[in-house]
């Protein structure tokens, strides 16, 4: 045996080659054209023992500044939230994390039931009856919502608000480019969608109107008004939403959204440098058979026991091939499981309590900035708001690291009109003392 992961011994190899009827392993590779065979050694680092490798990687990790080492006011789509210890304990069970997609339901009931529960939780939060078993992340789920809406309405034009996450907008544009769907961006009015302009831009050729709720600036968009605009010309209404906020806010489904997407990173998934997180996708019953991704359905076995299977697979790539509505194959099962556990641990009461703590602490921070004389933008917010500063925010953030803070997102990186503006996130984890110190520390950049 040459490596702890490779159990074939020299003796095994000899017996196996004999059974195969060849004398040397190289004969099994003889169909590779000689001129392109790789004869040298791969130029990668030599193998390292377990202890030394862990030590090296720990050292590399320590070069990062994180929400563990610093007090973080950075969100912008990825948030520092409470993760109950039960989450990691359960997702570390290898029956879950070393399993494949549950194509053999008799030995996958655990995963299938967990996903069925995930679908139910997402349906509850979004106010829509059908949710799939998860997508790659919020922005790609949003983009699938755009292409699905265009496909369903057969209208190759969508209107999307500039108040969505700038990276969502980029991803939506890339996805739409593949299918020749025109992407029209509705401008901002302060930190919200300009509803008058939106109304002007939406016409009979518009397959979908896409907004984010709460939006990228933390502001709560008026979904009642936007729904009216979206449906006026028979387009679909697609909303990307923070599911934590939805435990407290009126769900988009109740405002008449046809598709609701988002990311469940807020429930039980660490930032991990941006991924893997977990997208969700919910829709009306009418759109069920056009949805992308896997769906788990309830059924019974040959003796009437309740059980779960992957269902409505006729929509999917492995059956429909070039006629599939999406090419998505894998989902984010393990992350969906993590989020389900977190949602269940919080439960009906805890999710609301956590959402409210975000609103209260963000509101306190906002008022503290105002009281200290800062200009603060936005009116009704969830856990983020905009503060105007007197200097480039990226430069300020470099200086804040030395004081133990991770500052908010530099809006100037994405919006010309918001140079020197910081998007501050305040979650339930920040204490009053941290908020007060942060406001004070930013004092020198006021103006």
Quote the CA–CA distance of 401 and 74 in Å, as a whole number. Answer: 12
Q: Is the peptide bond before 214 cis (omega within 30 degrees of 0)?
A: yes
Q: Is the dihedral of CA 225, 227, 231, 236 positive or negative?
A: positive
Q: What 3 state SS string does 335-357 have? A: HHHHHHHHHHHHHHHHHHHHHHH
Closest to another protein by CB, 108 or 206: 108
Closest to another protein by CB, 161 or 397: 397
Quote the CA–CA distance of 239 and 145 in Å, as a whole number. Answer: 9
C-beta separation of 105 from 294 below 8 A: no
Return the DSSP state at 219.
Answer: B
Closest to another protein by CB, 254 or 444: 254
Supply the minimum distance, in Å, between the C-beta of residue 309 and another protein. Answer: 5
Quote the CA–CA distance of 176 and 165 in Å, as a whole number. Answer: 16
Quote the CA–CA distance of 41 and 150 in Å, as a whole number. Answer: 50
Closest to another protein by CB, 85 or 373: 85
Closest to another protein by CB, 90 or 389: 90
Supply the minimum distance, in Å, between the C-beta of residue 280 and another protein. Answer: 13
Closest to another protein by CB, 26 or 234: 26
Closest to another protein by CB, 217 or 308: 308
Q: Can you name the residues that pair with 72 across neighbouring β-strands? A: 406
- Classified as helix, coil or strand, 326 is coil
Supply the minimum distance, in Å, between the C-beta of residue 231 and another protein. Answer: 18
Supply the minimum distance, in Å, between the C-beta of residue 60 and another protein. Answer: 5
Supply the minimum distance, in Å, between the C-beta of residue 436 and another protein. Answer: 9
Supply the minimum distance, in Å, between the C-beta of residue 216 and another protein. Answer: 12
Return the DSSP state at 404.
Answer: T
Supply the minimum distance, in Å, between the C-beta of residue 230 and another protein. Answer: 17
Sort strands 409-410 and 279-283 into parallel, antiparallel or unpaired.
unpaired
Supply the minimum distance, in Å, between the C-beta of residue 374 and another protein. Answer: 17
- Greatest alpha-carbon pair distance for the chain in Å reads 83
Closest to another protein by CB, 347 or 443: 347
Supply the minimum distance, in Å, between the C-beta of residue 106 and another protein. Answer: 4
- Token pair of 437, please? 């110190």
Supply the minimum distance, in Å, between the C-beta of residue 151 and another protein. Answer: 10
- Could you give phi then psi for residue 291, rounded to 5 degrees? -70, 145
Closest to another protein by CB, 234 or 319: 319
Supply the minimum distance, in Å, between the C-beta of residue 385 and another protein. Answer: 12
Quote the CA–CA distance of 304 and 116 in Å, as a whole number. Answer: 18
Alpha-carbon radius of gyration of the chain: 25
C-beta separation of 172 from 183 below 8 A: yes
Quote the CA–CA distance of 223 and 251 in Å, as a whole number. Answer: 10
Quote the CA–CA distance of 206 and 198 in Å, as a whole number. Answer: 11
Closest to another protein by CB, 90 or 377: 90
Quote the CA–CA distance of 266 and 31 in Å, as a whole number. Answer: 51
Closest to another protein by CB, 159 or 359: 359
Supply the minimum distance, in Å, between the C-beta of residue 28 and another protein. Answer: 5
- How many C-beta atoms lie closer than 10 Å to residue 55's C-beta? 11
CA dihedral 177, 179, 182, 184 (to 10 degrees): -60
- Token pair of 114, please? 């967990």
Among candidate residues 150, 153, 159, 160, the one with its CA nearest the CA of residue 181: 150
Closest to another protein by CB, 165 or 421: 165
């Amino acid at each position: 045996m040459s490596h702890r992961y490779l159990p074939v011994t020299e003796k095994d190899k000899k017996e196996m080659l004999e059974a195969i009827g060849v004398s040397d392993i190289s004969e099994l590779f003889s169909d590779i054209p000689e001129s392109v065979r790789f004869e040298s050694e791969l130029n990668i680092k030599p193998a390292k023992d377990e202890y030394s490798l862990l030590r090296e990687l720990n050292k590399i990790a320590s070069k990062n500044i994180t929400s563990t080492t610093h007090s973080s006011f950075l969100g912008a789509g990825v948030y520092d939230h409470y993760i109950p210890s039960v989450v990691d304990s359960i997702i570390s069970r290898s029956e879950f994390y070393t399993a494949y997609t549950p194509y053999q339901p008799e030995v996958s009931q655990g995963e299938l039931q967990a996903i069925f529960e995930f679908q139910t939780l997402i349906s509850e939060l979004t106010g829509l009856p059908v949710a799939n078993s998860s997508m790659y992340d919020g922005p790609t789920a949003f983009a699938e919502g755009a292409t699905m809406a265009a496909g369903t309405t057969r209208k190759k034009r969508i209107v999307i608000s500039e108040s969505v996450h700038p990276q969502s907008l980029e991803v939506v544009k890339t996805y739409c480019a593949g299918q020749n769907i025109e992407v029209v961006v509705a401008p901002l009015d302060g930190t919200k969608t300009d509803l008058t302009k939106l109304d002007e831009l939406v016409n009979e050729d518009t397959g979908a109107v896409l907004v984010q709720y709460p939006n990228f600036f933390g502001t709560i968009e008026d979904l009642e008004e936007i729904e009216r605009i979206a449906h006026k010309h028979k387009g679909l209404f697609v909303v990307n939403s923070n599911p934590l906020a939805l435990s407290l806010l009126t769900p988009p489904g109740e405002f008449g959204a046809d598709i609701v997407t988002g990311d469940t990173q807020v429930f039980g998934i660490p930032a991990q440098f941006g991924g893997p997180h977990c997208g969700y996708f919910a829709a009306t019953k009418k759109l069920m058979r056009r949805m992308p991704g896997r769906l788990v359905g309830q059924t019974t076995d040959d003796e009437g026991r309740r059980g779960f299977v992957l269902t409505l697979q006729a929509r999917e790539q492995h059956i429909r091939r070039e006629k599939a509505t999406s090419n998505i194959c894998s989902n984010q099962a393990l992350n969906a499981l993590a989020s389900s556990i977190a949602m269940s641990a919080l439960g009906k009461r805890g999710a609301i309590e956590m959402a409210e703590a975000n609103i209260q602490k963000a509101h306190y921070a906002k008022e503290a900035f105002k009281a200290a004389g800062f200009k603060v933008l936005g009116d009704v917010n969830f856990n983020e708001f905009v503060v105007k500063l007197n200097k480039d925010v990226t430069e300020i953030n470099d200086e804040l690291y030395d004081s133990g803070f991770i500052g908010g997102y530099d809006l100037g990186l994405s919006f010309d009109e918001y140079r020197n503006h910081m998007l501050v996130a305040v979650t339930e984890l920040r204490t009053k003392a941290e908020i007060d110190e942060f406001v004070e520390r930013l004092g020198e950049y006021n103006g």
